[in-house]
Amino acid sequence: MRLEYLTGNHAIAEAAIIAGLKFYAGYPITPSTEIFEYLASKLPTKGGVVLQFEDEIASINAVIGASWAGAKAMTATSGPGFSLMVEALSLAIMTETPLVLAYVMRAGPSTGIATKAGQYDVMQVRWAAHGNYELVVYAPWSVQECLDLTIKAFNVSEMLRVPVILLSDATLAHIWERVVIREPPEVSIVNRKKPKVPRDKYKPYEPEEDLVPPMACFGEGYRVLVESLTHDERGYYKATNEVQRRLVWRLVNKVLKNKHLISDSATYLVDDADYVLIAYGSTARSAYALIRELRSKGIKVGLYRPKLLWPLDEEMLINSTIKAKKVFVVENNVGVYVREISRVLRNKEVISIPIIDIEVPTPDEIFEVMKEWI
Amino acid sequence: MDIIHPLDRYLRTDRLPHIWCPGCGIGIVISAMLRAIDRHISEGHFTQDDVATVSGIGCTARATLYLNFDSAHVIHGRAIPFAIGLKVIKPNLKVIVIGGDGDIAAIGGNHLLHSARRNMDITVIMVNNMVYGMTGGQVAPTTPMKVYTTTTPYGNLEYPLNLIKLVSSLNTNYVARASVTHPHLIERYIYNALSRDGFSFIEVISICPEVFGRHIGFRNPVELFNKLKSMIKFKAKPSIDESDIVWGKEIVLGEYVNEYKSGFIKLLYGS
């Protein structure tokens, strides 16, 4: 264990190295670039490779290739770059390729304000890629969580053979905080399952009981077939209802069935709360500050903070708001994640507090809206 | 399935028959490629387990489904970056990208030029049939001028892209053009490409009687094949200035760039 003083971006990069990163491919984009630069300097000294590509499309496709060569691989980007990456994200889902994508949100639409924060892309990250799938997305609220959740992102991507997204933002990217860094064996590192059968019996998409297939990589003699088309367990293209249904449902269910292994959220003073604030990422810091202030005035307010944004842990959300008379969802956007909360808390009064602020919504700004409802 | 042909060991024979139309040139390219690989393997340069083939989307890209190597059939235009990811992590792999002109030169064109610029240690085989075949005969960046396609029903107004000239202008080790009318040259050029470090690019001029031939008045595969053959000229040392393809005139085959500079992998890892 050691203490360091880092930015959110540095923490992501540091955590990736601890998790076993061996390949980073990227294209510079504010506010994510420090992840790239930090790794460009440090990863080669740990036996890894860092490459700058001609665009974000090449970057994520190279990451997928490197993962199939056996490396833990990642890229980082922001909104415009992620928009370019989504086709390959769908490929990674379809081919069950472990990778980590750090998405550092900035103000949009379009080029927006490159250096300033927002949480506009919380729906885009989940739904932008084509086809049906479950996507694992974590949202840190501090530099410490940038570190911890990046390690978790790698572990989950290896455990479930899925791409995992770490959804940070411009504020977290550049604030400096003290972090506790733990390395193995103080933290556990997960590596993908390898085949347990001989080469001639191996099928690259044949799942075990947890719905995750063991993964042979290129150059190991298994004659793997990475197939973007709908495929059977061998990786052979099959255009039938039977194969399409079996594949799509397994890709969805391998995440849902293992949700208990990936779920992560935090609560603060929800047990007796009349009102529960729900917030994620940097905005949750202001919600937390407001709750402390209101508690000192005797108002019973609590915080529910999902760290796993997608898929939402519905049971945790329901349990954390069970006694609340009203639920408030605070976001630095026009109010989008509130739709997911409302979907689950159908019988509750769910109030959206959308505050567009190119830094972080302040506790006062949140209270300004909230006070009319309490 | 029993091995009934010496190259069967390089095929997933349980997947045959293939999807390619009668008269298609792709099969000629694949068998020439397998003979080149087989020669290297029998000479002990590498093994079947060291070969990786990567493709995007299109008729040619379907090849990887049938090949008995570690293979990837990924998304349209992105075979090259996938291949680079493989190569830098497993430098011992012989990484071959195979695709059509749409896959490699149109949607994937940016990756082609940057991987050539890096002299990245992969071999790219581009089968150029001058049309989008799988989607049914749309114009390609390689389609000759004035040709009618389903998306240029009034004739193609655009000058075709000369890939030989493009790739030769970059920092690459090997650029050659072959044709399905001369399979021994395809085999020789792929063999030569796989014999060196750095980036190698082979354009193979092919025929698509089904959706290109019919647009230019040669729906019969034999007639189209003979038409192409009549245009082919082989040169031992062709100059890049004579590499333009003007349909109906001449198409010059040969090795346009033939060098042995250090590839990217050597610069990355040392020798």
Coarse DSSP helix, strand, coil percentages of chain A, rounded to the nearest 5 percent = 40, 20, 40
CATH code at position A357: 3.40.50.920
Find residue B73's DSSP bridge partners: A227, B55
**Domain end (from A262, A289, A323):** A262
Contact B93 A227 (CB under 8 A): no
How far apart CA A143 and CA A180 sit, in angstroms, is 10
Q: Is A87 on the interface with B (CB under 8 A)?
A: yes
Do A184 and A307 lie in a common domain? no
Distance between CA atoms of B23 and B125, rounded to whole angstroms?
A: 20
Say yes or no: A164 and A207 in one domain: yes
Q: Please check whether residues A343 and A210 belong to one and the same domain.
A: no
Q: What is the pLDDT of residue A53?
A: 98
Q: Which domains does chain B have, with CATH numbers?
A: 19-269 (3.40.50.970)
pLDDT the model gives residue B246: 87
Instruction: Give me the DSSP letters along B22-35.
Output: TT-SHHHHHHHHHH
3-state secondary structure at position A336? coil
- Of A262, A278, A311, which residue sits at a domain end? A262
Residues (pLDDT < 50) of chain A are none
Same domain for A226 and A364, yes or no, is no
Is B181 within 8 Å of B225 (Cβ atoms)? yes
Return the number of CB contacts < 8 Å for A and B. 116
pLDDT tens-digit readout, A265-277: 999 999 999 999 9
Among residues A205, A232, A262, the one where a domain terminates is A262
B261 touches chain A (CB under 8 A): no
Q: Is B50 on the interface with A (CB under 8 A)?
A: yes
Cβ contact, residue pair B65, A219, below 8 Å: no
User: What DSSP element (H or E) covers A50?
Assistant: strand A49-52
* Domain span including residue A295: 266-373
**Interface TM-score (ipTM) > 0.95:** yes
Q: Are A161 and A274 in the same domain?
A: no
The pLDDT score that the predictor gives to residue B106 is: 98
Separation in Å, CA of A349 to nearest CA in chain B: 45
pLDDT for the residue A62: 98
Query: A47 at the B interface (CB within 8 A)?
Result: no
Partner-chain contact B75 A87, CB within 8 Å: yes
Q: Identify whether B17 is preceded by a cis peptide bond (ω within 30 of 0).
A: yes
Residues A192 and A279 in one domain: no
Q: Helices (DSSP H) in chain A: which residue ranges? A: 8-19, 33-42, 56-68, 79-94, 124-127, 143-160, 170-174, 241-256, 259-262, 283-296, 314-320, 338-344, 363-370
Which of A63, A228, A233, A234 to mutate to probe the B interface, most B CBs <10 Å?
A: A228
pLDDT tens digits along B64-112: 999 999 999 999 999 999 999 999 999 999 999 999 999 999 999 999 9
Minimum-distance CB partner of B111 among A23, A54, A66: A54
The answer to whether residues A279 and A139 belong to one domain is no
Residues of chain B with pLDDT under 70: 1-3, 271
Residues with Cβ within 8 Å of residue B237, at least 6 apart in sequence: B254, B255
